[in-house]
Amino acid sequence: MATEKFDRAALEQLVTKRFFFAPSFQIYGGVAGFYDYGPTGCALMNNIISVWRNHFVLEEEMLELDTTIMNTYDVLKTSGHVDKFADWMCKDLKNGEIFRADHLVEAVLEARLQGDREARAAKEGAAAVDAAKQAGEAAKKASKKKKKGTVVAVELPEEERKAYEEILAQIDNYGGPELAQLITKYNIRSPETGNELSMPQEFNLMFESSIGPTGQLKGFLRPETAQGQFLNFKKLLEFNNDKMPFASAQVGRAFRNEISPRSGLLRVREFTMAEIEHYVDPNNKNHAGYQDVKDIVIPLLSKDVQLSGKTNTTEMSIGDAVEKKVIDNQTLGYFIARIYQFLLKIGIKREKLRFRQHMDNEMAHYACDCWDAEIKTSYGWIECVGCADRSAYDLTVHSVRTKEKLVVREQLAEPLTVQKWQVEINKKTFGPKYKRNAKAIEEALLSYTDECFAQLEKDLESKGSSIVEADGQKFEVSKDDVSVKLATVTEHVREYTPNVIEPSFGIGRILYSLLEHSWWVREDDEARNVLSFPAIVAPFKCCILPLSGNSEFEPFVKKFSRALRQNGVSTRTDDSKTSIGRRYSRNDELGIPYAITIDFQTVEDNTVTLRYRDSTKQIRDSFENILKILKEEQ
């Protein structure tokens, strides 16, 4: 299998050679952050998505959508993306090169820690006498010009080493001001030139566009698929016969104008997402399938552990994590377990998978809890799936902005006595006083939260008036115009805004991680690469190999290929003139789990040889029996 030190360059060469994916516009020099998928990459991605659909959409009876990739300015202004969808960037003050600040700090500190480990190892070994001197000289040479990730063997003071480890454990918790302090304190410079860096500044990640010929209607390419689902909530609820809970799902492209796209498919500007929005009663976040998954044990990295400066995971069952409030609720725990099952099913290695909880500074202000499924690759731990409890934020803000009620109405078995704020507007004075603004002010008042109503009552009693914001303007209303009081009412129908649990999958990141986890080299021959994809996601399930170009084999190739495809087994025929061993090797590089060889004995008795990719084991049997084996194993 793969050696301990991962040879990323060799994998990248294989991926390019077999056209899994390649940079877009390559003959024009390419543009960072854009990739085209070849036939093999397309098939692999489509199979991952197919498993995702079966695992989530079909098994969970989700409602799938396909919404537009364009979003209007108003939609994304309301959702908060216009104001808050940003990363922190800094630039080389001399040549203007741009870096994403948190990634730069992380890469530099990781390189320094690696250098420390190498220096300590050298000190303990035979080269102890010269290690410190060589490391010091190397450090001097590297101080002026050091590429990102370049490791220089320099032993760090113990206190500094511990500080670096604690910073890296909570790197995602730092905002712009904190990153600026780290850059200054630890003398972090441009990795390519050694030049000083600017202080971090916010950069909005959305691609701006205009809709229509006048250019007056502003829009953006969507940064996520979620907003299209939220805007259709009312229709989805009606389609679901007003039953709760339920989930919608969508697979599609999203766009983010990354500051400095790097690391292949892991940080790109256009990518495929698969997102689920599970709508749930805020007063009851239990899940009907929870009992089926509560005993699944998962490696968890909680926010408390990270804040202590550590990254040790804890093996814990979903049931224990929910009971101890490590995971906030049953529905969130249920989806974390289902995500875990999905990733293992498609071939992600368990020992390279963990679920990391967001720290408070990472989490959106409205979120209750959020976990990332992180997969370990040669680039480190990579966030591939996010699973967040978004509370009622999205539906609430869109409802307030559009005045469209995005709520669930539930008939109560028993009437419920509750305390509710009641507003009375004096129509005789209100209309004449506020004229064309009257309707907007009334709507603003009626959309108040309980806290706003309490403040309104306090203002009217103490000052005789209060300020109301409507359509971007401020209006003063008096107690002659409006009255408000907290009254006891009997409700026969409960009305509430659902909370949303959102699992969000980055398909490209999962695909790349799977390539790394599946790739290995046969021990007897370094040139023989193998991609051990599970049959369920392999780009092709079976290759058909005629022993030679003899015309007698052609009818069998056509007949067997058609029979396999009709039975749902995707095939690839390799009838090139190279040796059968070389063709086996070539198709191992494509990750094809099975190969059927057609030879002269096939012509005589209709038997074929089936070869297994990983073990290279071969069996001989009739084609009909081989077909049964393939149908059972895929």
List pLDDT tens digits, range 323-357: 999 999 999 999 999 999 999 999 999 999 999 99
Residue 145 has pLDDT above 90, yes or no: no
Q: From CA 383, how far away is CA 385, in angstroms rounded?
A: 6
Instruction: Give the DSSP letter string of 460-521.
Output: HHHTSEEEEEETTEEEEEETTTEEEEEEEEEEEEEEEPPEEEEEEEEHHHHHHHHHHHHEEE
pLDDT band at 135 (very low <50, low <70, confident <90, very high): very low
Q: From CA 448, how far away is CA 456, in angstroms rounded?
A: 9
Residue 115 has pLDDT above 80, yes or no: yes
Residue 472 has pLDDT above 80, yes or no: no
Task: Please state, for a pLDDT cut of 90, what percent of the chain lies above it.
Answer: 63
Task: Report residue 311 as tokens.
Answer: 């990254």
Q: pLDDT of 476-507, one tens digit each? A: 999 888 999 989 988 899 999 999 999 999 99
Q: From CA 371, how far away is CA 303, in angstroms rounded?
A: 10
Contacts of 287 (CB under 8 A, 6+ apart): 245, 330, 331, 333, 334
Q: Are 21 and 40 in contact (CB under 8 A)?
A: no
Which candidate, 335, 327, 399, places its Cα nearest to that of 368? Answer: 327
The per-residue pLDDT for 4 is: 58
Q: What's the first-to-final CA gap in the chain, in angstroms?
A: 23
Q: Is 500 exposed, middle or buried (0-12, 13-18, 19+ CB in 10 A)?
A: buried
pTM of the model: 0.82
Q: pLDDT of 72-101, one tens digit each? A: 999 999 998 988 888 898 988 888 888 889
Q: pLDDT of 219-261, one tens digit each? A: 999 999 999 999 999 999 999 999 999 999 999 999 999 888 8
Mean pLDDT score of the chain, rounded to an integer? 90
Other beta carbons less than 10 A from residue 4's beta carbon? 4
Q: Are 450 and 526 in contact (CB under 8 A)?
A: no
pLDDT mean over 168-178? 85
The per-residue pLDDT for 511 is: 98
The per-residue pLDDT for 138 is: 40
pLDDT band at 146 (very low <50, low <70, confident <90, very high): very low
Q: Is pLDDT larger for residue 150 or for residue 620?
A: 620
Instruction: Give the DSSP letter string of 88-144.
Output: EEEEBTTT--EEEHHHHHHHHHHHHHHHHHHHHHHHHSTTHHHHHHHHHHHHHHHHH
Q: From CA 609, how far away is CA 601, in angstroms rounded?
A: 10
- In this structure, of 139-148, 290-299, 530-539, 565-574, the range with the lowest mean pLDDT score is 139-148
Residue 130 has pLDDT above 60, yes or no: no
Q: From CA 527, how far away is CA 67, in angstroms rounded?
A: 45
> Is the bond preceding 245 in cis, omega lying within 30 degrees of 0?
yes
What are residue 363's phi and psi, to 5 degrees? -80, 140
Residue 129 has pLDDT above 60, yes or no: no
The per-residue pLDDT for 263 is: 87
**Residue that the structure tokens 């103490």 belong to:** 462
